[in-house]
Amino acid sequence: MAGRYTAGVRMVSASRAFLVALLLLCACGRSTQERPSPADRPHPSILLITLDTTRVDSIGPEAKGVTTPSFNAVVASGRRFTQAYATAPQTLPSHTSMMTGTYPGGHGVHENARTLADRQPLLAEKLRDAGYRTAAFISGFPLVRRFGLARGFALYDDELPRGGNERGAKETTDRALAYLAENAQQPLFLWVHYFDPHAPYEPPEPFRSRYAHDPYRGEIAAMDEQLGRLVAAFRQRAGRDAAIVIAGDHGEGLGEHGEAQHGNLLYQGVMHVPFVIAGPGIAAGVVETPVSTRHVYDIVLACAGVGAEANLAAAPREVVLGEAMIPFLQYGWQPQVMAVEGSTKAIHAGTIEVYDVRKDPGEMHDLAATADLSRDMRKVLLEYPIPSLDAPPSSTTLTEEERKRLASLGYITADVQPAIRKDAPRPRDMAPLFETLDKASGLFVAGEYRQALPLLEHIVAKDPHNLMAVLRIAAAHSALGDNAQALAAFHQAETLAPNSPDVRHYLALHYAKTGDWERATPMLERIVAETPDRLPALEALAQSRERQKRFEEALQLRQRIVTLSPPGAPELVHLGMLAMETGRTDVAVQSLEQARALQGRAFQHDLELGVLYLSARRLEDAREALDRVPDTHPAHAMALFKRAQVSVLLGETDRAARIAAARAAADATTRELIARDRLFR
Ligand SMILES: [Zn+2]
């Protein structure tokens, strides 16, 4: 069984025939005979718009219960793929497919909060190398720079409102329009991502009132208005040669098949997405053949005339694939793979379900008993690579803050590699638990342990092999100080997964928390040796080293922590103090300066900074820092003493008065220092 979950099985190659069709689409308008050589061919500007959480039936001319005139106008002038499928029902994996041209099985990002490997070539890099000016404006936390899609963009605007996880379509559009106004040079590759339809559904006015009965569609209507502004401005700037590509990243369950949002299942509500391309020479019309949105990559390159010749070979029709691995990665439930050919859709999740999505778009009638799947379809379903569970779970390199932000968007960040077993449940059969899982995770990450516990216990009652839930029960009891209950839950976790490094990790953190450093420290040492990127273990081991007064080692651990995750001011101050303790003046100055830059007037370590500057003979800096120490500082006497030293060294005219002031304010510590100081004689 291990082979099944670890082997890098061959991926199905993209349909060349489909690419040829695309190339012809984008090359129209110029006769192939007269086509200039690639070097002289003008590159058109390209606008890629991605619509988060947009169901195909909630946008476009046939949308129900909502009008989307801006999108419809692009559709009217362009080519619409009516059977387009996301590669995965979550933001980061789906966008990573569009930016790499590969399924998640190829690029390896199966869920949010993973980071794309550096070696994977990206669409924007290719276009940049071909001479494009590249810019991206993204609107949701799952796509911020650190998750890996910024490579190749000269500008990657992921600045979200302070403390927020998303930016509204109006603000994102305002920024993109300002950019367009300032950057007239061509060709341009502009990617704009809208996040509005993602939960919570809170459209701005007038859409809030207009769609009070259906705020999800209200968000779509509000987004559509901004999409209209963007397309108009882009067309005006980029000229008649410009191309526009619009694709959804996934839909929203809205209760279908028991799924309120997205991420857990592969049904049409979340996988069937809007997809349209428009530009010169692209004949308006409809393509009914199933297509994956990973072809955004090929379409954009073909429109740009970049590397397209390599794709000119005929090949068989493509079976469109998709996956939903989150329940597998988080709870060990069956991995889910989807394949679509014509109107036949099959879902493999332990068993195979088959639907005719044209006749039965609600997927109410499973045809598995009678359907005859093609050989291609069976093959791709069985050969699709299942993610390896060798790597540590996704959240080990996230900060608390980042975990909270993802949780507030309804995303569960896995702490734990699940216990894998053949008879694991199918995610669709566990749908009644989805809401409880989301709620429990939100409460747990927010530190609401008392409220999380009954939900977690309900989950374990229904899904006894759910290692993450069992460990969270243990961690919640630990945090609440219920030692015996915590240890009982840890014991249960060890029974479920005897060799799990995650169980050891949680247990070590529990021992550290209860002050049992004798047990905790050797466990932490082993965890850090095995997986050096686990932030909580690094943090706890650094604490242990500080307790042992092994400050050099503590400093090294804390330096590693700040390279793994962007530190806040408290972490920087802590690092600075540790560096002072070990005589690393350079590290101490740098850390405190960074903390001060983050904190501004709230920074409380000007005295330490002044002392450090003085010892580094940076006298002007020392004077400024010491002058900032307030009278109310508990060690103000020390500040006056150090300031007097600086004054003497700088030869200031008021140095005598400063020495007198230091003497007058002296306390037990500084009195002796002043008496002994040669500078004051
Ligand atoms: Zn999304």
Over the chain, what is the mean pLDDT?
Answer: 89
**What integer is the mean pLDDT of 237-256?**
93
Task: Return the pLDDT at 207.
Answer: 97
Q: How many whole angstroms separate alpha carbon 416 and alpha carbon 444?
A: 14
User: Is residue 5 pLDDT above 60, yes or no?
Assistant: no
Task: Return the pLDDT at 414.
Answer: 64
**What integer is the mean pLDDT of 360-379?**
94
Task: Return the pLDDT at 327.
Answer: 95
Neighbours of ion ligand 1 (CB under 5 A): 52, 91, 249
Q: How many whole angstroms separate alpha carbon 523 and alpha carbon 657?
A: 57
User: Is residue 225 pLDDT above 70, yes or no?
Assistant: yes
Task: Return the pLDDT at 396.
Answer: 60
Question: If you measure from the C-alpha of residue 252 to the centroid of ligand 1, how many angstroms do you get, rounded to a whole number?
Answer: 9
Question: If you measure from the C-alpha of residue 110 to the centroid of ligand 1, how many angstroms do you get, rounded to a whole number?
Answer: 13
Question: If you measure from the C-alpha of residue 596 to the centroid of ligand 1, how many angstroms do you get, rounded to a whole number?
Answer: 36
**What integer is the mean pLDDT of 348-356?**
96
Question: If you measure from the C-alpha of residue 12 to the centroid of ligand 1, how many angstroms do you get, rounded to a whole number?
Answer: 25
279 falls in which pLDDT band (50, 70, 90)? confident
Q: How many whole angstroms separate alpha carbon 625 and alpha carbon 622?
A: 5
Of 169-173, 256-260, 308-312, 492-496, where does mean pLDDT reach its minimum? 308-312
User: Is residue 27 pLDDT above 80, yes or no?
Assistant: no
Convert the pLDDT of each residue in 639-661 to its tens digit: 999 999 999 999 999 999 999 99
Question: If you measure from the C-alpha of residue 661 to the centroid of ligand 1, how many angstroms do you get, rounded to a whole number?
Answer: 63
204's tokens: 């701005």
User: Is residue 11 pLDDT above 50, yes or no?
Assistant: no
Question: If you measure from the C-alpha of residue 52 to the centroid of ligand 1, how many angstroms do you get, rounded to a whole number?
Answer: 4
Q: How many whole angstroms separate alpha carbon 622 and alpha carbon 614?
A: 5
**What integer is the mean pLDDT of 344-357?**
96
Question: If you measure from the C-alpha of residue 635 to the centroid of ligand 1, how many angstroms do you get, rounded to a whole number?
Answer: 52
Task: Return the pLDDT at 166.
Answer: 93
**What integer is the mean pLDDT of 409-424?**
76
The phi, psi pair for 82, rounded to 5°, reads: -85, -10
Question: If you measure from the C-alpha of residue 393 to the centroid of ligand 1, how many angstroms do you get, rounded to a whole number?
Answer: 21
Task: Return the pLDDT at 318.
Answer: 86
User: Is residue 181 pLDDT above 50, yes or no?
Assistant: yes
User: How many residues are listed for the chain in this entry?
Assistant: 681
**What integer is the mean pLDDT of 348-355?**
96
Convert the pLDDT of each residue in 422-439 to its tens digit: 889 999 999 999 999 999
Of 47-61, 448-462, 530-544, 593-607, where does mean pLDDT reach its minimum? 530-544
28 falls in which pLDDT band (50, 70, 90)? very low
Q: Please report, for residues 136, 173, 188, the alpha-carbon distance to residue 179 in angstroms, rounded to integers and kept in the order given.
A: 10, 10, 11
User: Is residue 577 pLDDT above 50, yes or no?
Assistant: yes
**What integer is the mean pLDDT of 384-402?**
73
Residue 341 contacts residue 444 (beta carbons within 8 Å): no
Instruction: Output the 3-class SS for 383-443.
Output: HCCCCCCCCCCHHHHCCHHHHHHHHHCCCCCCCCCCCCCCCCCCHHHHHHHHHHHHHHHHH
Task: Return the pLDDT at 313.
Answer: 30
User: Is pLDDT larger for residue 280 or for residue 418?
Assistant: 418
Percent with pLDDT over 90 in the chain: 73
**What integer is the mean pLDDT of 73-102?**
96
Question: If you measure from the C-alpha of residue 617 to the centroid of ligand 1, how many angstroms do you get, rounded to a whole number?
Answer: 53
User: Is residue 253 pLDDT above 70, yes or no?
Assistant: yes
**What integer is the mean pLDDT of 32-41?**
43
